[in-house]
Amino acid sequence: MTAQGIAPSPAKRLRQESSRESDHYHLPPPTFDLDVWVNNYEGFPPHLLGALLPLRLAHVAIHCPTLSRQAITLAISHAKKSKDVRVYIRLCDLAGQFGFADLGAPDLGWASKQEEGNKRELSRLEGELRGYKNNLIRESIRMGQEDLATHHLITGGPPPDPATVQSLGGTGYGVAYQAFGKMRDYCTTPTHMASMILRLTYTAILQAVSAQQQGSTARHHLDLVLSNCSRLRTCGVKEEEQVKLNPIAIAMSGIAHLGQANYHDAASAFLSTPIAYNLLGPVHNTDFGRAVASANDLAIYGGLCALATLSRQALIDRVLGGPFRAFLELEPHMRKAISLYTTAKYQACLDLLRRYYSDWSLDVFLGVPASSIGSASHVDVLSAHIREKSITAYFSSFSEVSLASLASTFPPISSSPMAMEEELLSMIDAGQLDARLDVVNGTLVAPRKDLRASTHEEARRAAEEVERTLLLRLHKVNVAMAGLEVPRSKTGVWEGHGQGNGLMY
Amino acid sequence: MSDLSAILSFPPDDVAKLTPKKYDDAINRYLQRIEKLPNTAWLRPVDKKNLLEMLNPEVNSIPYMVSLAGQIKAAGKDWTKLEILLNYAVIFLATFDPVQVRYVGATWLTVLDWTLDTLPQSSSCDLSIIASAMLRLDPTLGTFTSTHLRFLRICLEGGVPSHALPILDKNIYAMATTPPKLMADEFLCDDLELSNTYITLKSGFTLKIQPQYVLEYYLIGAHIYLGSRNYARARLFLEYVLLHPSIQHSISALQVEAYKKWVLVGLLAEGKPYPLPRTHDNAVMKGVRDVSKPYDALADNFIKRNLSKYRAEMDIGTQIWHEDGNLRLVKEAESALLRFRVMDLQKTFAALPIGRVAAHAGYPPDTTLQWVTEMIRQRQLRASITPNGNGNAGDAVLRFHHSTTSSSALADGDLAAQTQRIEALVAHVRDADRRLQLTKEYVEYTKRQKRSGPDAADMADQMDLTWENNGAGIMGSAGGVVGMDEDDGDEDIMGGF
């Protein structure tokens, strides 16, 4: 019942997309092994904050047919271990849509029992919280509030009530977010604040992922992630604690920027993430490295964003030569791709990126659509950026390149004969490529610049502009001095403009 | 005969040697003298010849003019007499002594006005004589007078707008105002650099100027420039109108008209509306735009190079364009849109077959080939067309050339001329600045500044210093009034008016 209106959406999108010959839902199998991969994201403690894992697996199941069954089986078993009945039902539903009849039938007995237990637990926690509030002990209230919020988080929050209009945050994880937010009044030390903000950040990310998976926009939630990240950096805890918080704050803000398609900001966030993020372990009972994104993931995100947005020199200085290299060592193929790009081996670089396309598209942060319009995922957009940058960089050393040789270096994505030409045209139009196309000879020509003439032209324009401006201002002074201004209209205020404030402009 | 000797008593024989002061004295005495002469002295023939035959307009400008004016008055509506007088007037206007007439501006204006009225009715309708007379009086033509507008109107009515170009091409540097008192060592007959010292409201060379005269002058001027395809100048004139200061943000209908044209001129000349001048008055501009929405919509489609939508807008608004008298401009912008679409192609292509241009423009290839050829011929497009052997228009190749065109010597000359123009302009700006500092309002403003304490004064000084150091320091320290830099600190000085 609760799954109504939510579960159909991935499948509905699935159908629409597949009819448009998009391959997002038919990715080839990735290079990693699913079981090993899942181990990276086992929550710690497993059932407390592992809510992202079923969503992750569902993402894999939706997008990769080969792994679909395995992923959904894992997801369901994980969901069943948790207390979130609705995620479980939704996953079973999904399995049914994929045609896995055996998995599609939910264990209703377990579900109702768990639901019952959740309700009992909820009323117990609420009762306790009321008691604490009567006793007016702040620390108890804070902990009671935290327990309540955590309960909401792991049970997926109260189900949407069909009788009332669904308000923002009125159901699901939104309730958990608000409950965590209520801790604020009872936080007495910066450490408490930090712990609360960490939970808020995590909840917001969870909300974002779940919203994206259900086909709605995650922008609002990502904004919350960003604001929580900046609060996390200035919450005033002791130096040694802050050192632990900073990597999380920076990395999560990077993920939020990535989700909002601000690749440049995302790149600079990831590049400045301290390597301490790796093996950081749980901070305030939350291990972001396991629950949200591992250091390996950050290496991929950062590497791709940097490759797509930074200049070659910045890549050499800040990425390969900077502290981010430590991350790249975790994912050597990413490092290799970047060094290939910096040494102008564009073809090899793009080939390498293509080989891992499937891996990255199965990531729950990279594989989601980059904008509400169109189905291109972040990986697609980033790859397109990198490709365009490569073409621009490749062309910069030539004055004329034939389209054929360009097409052999950068094989066009689509198979239409005009593909290369169209791609180049759109790049020229967007101002990324400073070149002209000679359609007749089939070449791309670099514009010849006559510096002297263009400087002359510029000077002439500037001088004309100065002359015009001077004349206009002279006119203004003369008119004012001669008292020849347009007089006040006699019929009162002209169409509501120029309220008589007693000042003559 | 004594009348005649009185009439001829100026200029004295040694006129060339007179100092300005003596010349001034002599001419004033002479004027007093001839004022006492009876009216008939100017009309009566001398030796059975017209007095005008005796006088040399170049030397005896004053008596010639007075006599002419008198005879015109006496002639009434006798056309044969008037035609004879018209000949005299033309001779006079072509040869008069510009210094002498400064003392009798009102009479000069009467003669000029009469000529201006009569010329179109006569057989020869050469209005350029008026323009050269105006230029003779004031070679810079930098002071705006009521004659400017009158002349322009008559040129338009006579259907010879091009005759107004010599006048329009001169920039206006000042308005005729009530004069500041002449300095002790300055005389009307002096070799005055700026014409606004002798063309004033009191000199008689102009009627009282109304704001709408100025607006109308510039608007008509812009029309004429538009007709001669001088878009830069038309833009300047329209911006004069647009930026005309107003009291309490009131808007003139002429400004609205100017805005509409200004949008269209921008489309014609640059393919997009000009950027709004920085010193515009927001409230005025908003009011103007509110009533010019159809034009902004047109411009929007133009910028997007959306030909079909532009045409749709054009058709639906035919009534509007027609009523505003802009129908032809709008139609011209339509063909300009087509032109800009092709010109945009050269940003992307170095060469392409006409067939693709045709597809882009939405025309059949042979028509496209035709008008692209026409564009190249008119030098709107730097490109060449290589026909294909098979005679198929779509296969002909359009190859764009690099836009660096002018030879450097030509460019140097251009720049030099431009520099000269700006230097001349700066002199006038300085003058305007000086005049501004002499106004009561500015003096009061300065006083207020002084009164508000030494600190405030220091601050003002400091501000002015930085202003000068900006490199645009062409103004005196107190007069941040007209400047080429973007510092709009001038506005509060202006606010005093």
Q: List, for residues A181-208, the tens digit of each pLDDT value.
A: 888 888 888 888 898 998 899 889 888 8
pLDDT classification of B299: cutoffs 50, 70, 90? very high
Read off the pLDDT of each residue in A61-73 and give the average, rounded to a whole number: 85
Chain B residues touching residue A483 (CB < 8 angstroms) = 497
Q: Which residue has the higher pLDDT, A126 or A46?
A: A126
Of A464, A470, A485, the CB nearest to B429: A470
Q: pLDDT tens digit string along A136-162? A: 888 888 888 888 888 888 887 777 655
pLDDT value of residue B181: 59
pLDDT classification of B4: cutoffs 50, 70, 90? confident
Q: Any long-range contacts for B308-314 (C-beta under 8 Å, 24+ apart)?
A: B308/B362, B310/B334, B310/B337
Place of tokens 């109308």: B216
pLDDT classification of B469: cutoffs 50, 70, 90? very low
Mean residue pLDDT of chain B comes to 81
Is the pLDDT at B45 greater than 70? The verdict is yes
User: Which positions 458-487 of A are in contact with B (Cβ < 8 Å)?
Assistant: 459-460, 463-464, 466-487
Of B246, B351, B490, the CB nearest to A440: B351
**B495: distance to nearest CA of chain A, Å?**
6
List Cβ neighbours of A186 (8 Å cut-off, separation of 6 or more): A138, A139, A141, A142, A145, A192
> Is B493 within 8 Å of B445 (Cβ atoms)?
yes
Cis-peptide, bond into residue B11, ω within 30° of zero: yes
**B133: distance to nearest CA of chain A, Å?**
24
Q: Which residue of A has its CA nearest to B474?
A: A470
Q: Of the CATH numbers 1.10.10, 3.30.450, 3.30.70, 1.10.357, which one belongs to the domain with range A399-463? A: 1.10.10
Alpha helix ranges (H) inside B271-390: 282-290, 293-303, 307-316, 318-324, 327-348, 354-361, 365-377
Does residue B296 come out as left (phi exceeding 0), alpha (psi in the -120 to 50 range) or beta? Answer: alpha
A436–B482 CB contact, under 8 Å: no
- Whether ipTM tops 0.85, in short, is no
Question: Measured between alpha carbons, how far is A82 from A80 in angstroms, rounded to an integer?
Answer: 5
Question: Measured between alpha carbons, how far is A356 from A338 in angstroms, rounded to an integer?
Answer: 14
Is the pLDDT at B337 greater than 50? The verdict is yes
**B12: distance to nearest CA of chain A, Å?**
38
List Cβ neighbours of B224 (8 Å cut-off, separation of 6 or more): B152, B155, B156, B161, B162, B164, B165, B168
Q: Which of B208, B246, B443, B474 would you mutate first to test chain A, the one with the most A CBs within 10 A?
A: B246
B249–A477 CB contact, under 8 Å: no
Read off the pLDDT of each residue in B444-451 and give the average, rounded to a whole number: 80
pLDDT classification of B447: cutoffs 50, 70, 90? confident
Q: Which residue of A has its CA nearest to B278?
A: A469
pLDDT value of residue B497: 39
Q: Is A495 on the interface with B (CB under 8 A)?
A: yes
A482–B243 CB contact, under 8 Å: no
Using alpha carbons, select from A114, A39, A113 the residue that is nearest to residue A84: A114
B249–A498 CB contact, under 8 Å: yes
**A398: distance to nearest CA of chain B, Å?**
16
Q: pLDDT tens digit string along B204-213? A: 888 888 888 9
Point out which residues pair with B397 in neighbouring strands.
B353, B386
Q: pLDDT tens digit string along B122-167? A: 766 678 888 889 998 888 888 888 889 999 998 888 888 888 898 9
Chain B residues touching residue A471 (CB < 8 angstroms) = 171, 236, 240, 425
Give me the total of CB pairs closer than 8 Å, taking one residue from chain A and one from chain B.
Answer: 202
